[in-house]
């Protein structure tokens, strides 16, 4: 059974009021946010010199789960939190241009990527008449996929800082991280 929020929440924790589309409500919420916004006076370099790669799953409030504040880290999210060529691109920019030195990889329990296969690409090609240029990157074993992501980061020739790369599985029912041994 899937439970989702009825409406987006504003910065005060309450539901965003208003009519219209979800995007309209988000834009309205931004107006309220901007009214109280003050320039934090920081640049794009993360204070903690860390980049976090995680799944885009809406159940994971990444900053809250890790005790992070605005400006602490670079956050890179995609379906599954897998390390793709685009993630390597973002990590390379993060490290080489913006000073990060550590990489934290976070997958999670109950990930939708565990329910897909590469057949998804074939079905999509049949439906739209064009084969996607990207791989689905589906997986069955979340621990093994974290290990694969760690290997991809550690072996990338573009990343100068690969000595502090750690991988975790976030439990969506308890909120706890479980570290994965890279072996």
Quick: pLDDT tens for 114-154.
Answer: 999 989 999 999 999 999 999 999 999 999 999 999 999 99
Geometric angle at alpha carbon 57, from 116 and 141, rounded to 5°: 45
DSSP helix/strand/coil, 109: coil
Give the end-to-end CA distance of the chain in Å, rounded to a whole number.
35
User: Comparing C-alpha atoms, which of 88, 8, 99 is closest to residue 48?
Assistant: 99
Residue 143: per-residue pLDDT: 98
- According to DSSP, the residues that pair with 167 across neighbouring strands are 105, 180
Q: What are the C-alpha distances in Å from 169 to residues 80, 143, 177?
A: 11, 7, 6
* 93-115 average pLDDT score: 97
Alpha carbons 42 and 39: distance in angstroms, whole number: 8
Quick: pLDDT tens for 5-56.
Answer: 545 555 455 555 557 899 999 999 999 999 999 988 899 999 999 999 999 9
Residue 3: per-residue pLDDT: 44
Alpha carbons 56 and 139: distance in angstroms, whole number: 15
What backbone torsions phi and psi does residue 48 show, to the nearest 5 degrees?
A: -90, 0
Residue 54: per-residue pLDDT: 98
Top pLDDT among 74 and 43 is at: 74
Residue 116: per-residue pLDDT: 95
Q: What are the C-alpha distances in Å from 94 to residues 46, 74, 107?
A: 9, 7, 20
Least-confidence region, from 3-17, 74-88, 148-162: 3-17
Residues near 97 by beta carbon (within 8 Å), at least 6 away in sequence: none
């Amino acid at each position: 059974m899937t439970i989702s929020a009825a409406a987006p929440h504003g910065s005060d924790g309450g539901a965003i009021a208003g009519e219209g589309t979800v995007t309209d409500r988000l834009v309205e919420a931004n107006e309220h946010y901007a009214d109280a916004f003050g320039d934090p006076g920081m640049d794009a370099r993360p204070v903690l010199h860390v980049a976090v790669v995680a799944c885009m799953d809406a159940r994971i409030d990444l900053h809250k789960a890790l005790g992070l504040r605005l400006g602490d880290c670079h956050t890179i999210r995609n379906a599954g939190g897998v390390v793709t060529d685009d993630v390597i691109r973002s990590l390379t920019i993060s490290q080489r241009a913006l000073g990060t030195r550590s990489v934290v990889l976070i997958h999670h329990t109950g990930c939708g990527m565990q329910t897909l296969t590469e057949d998804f690409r074939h079905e999509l090609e049949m439906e739209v008449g064009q084969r996607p240029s990207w791989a689905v990157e589906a997986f069955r074993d979340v621990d093994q996929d974290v290990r694969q992501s760690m290997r991809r980061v550690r072996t990338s020739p573009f990343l100068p800082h690969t000595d502090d790369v750690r991988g975790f599985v976030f439990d969506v029912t308890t909120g706890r991280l479980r570290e994965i041994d890279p072996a």
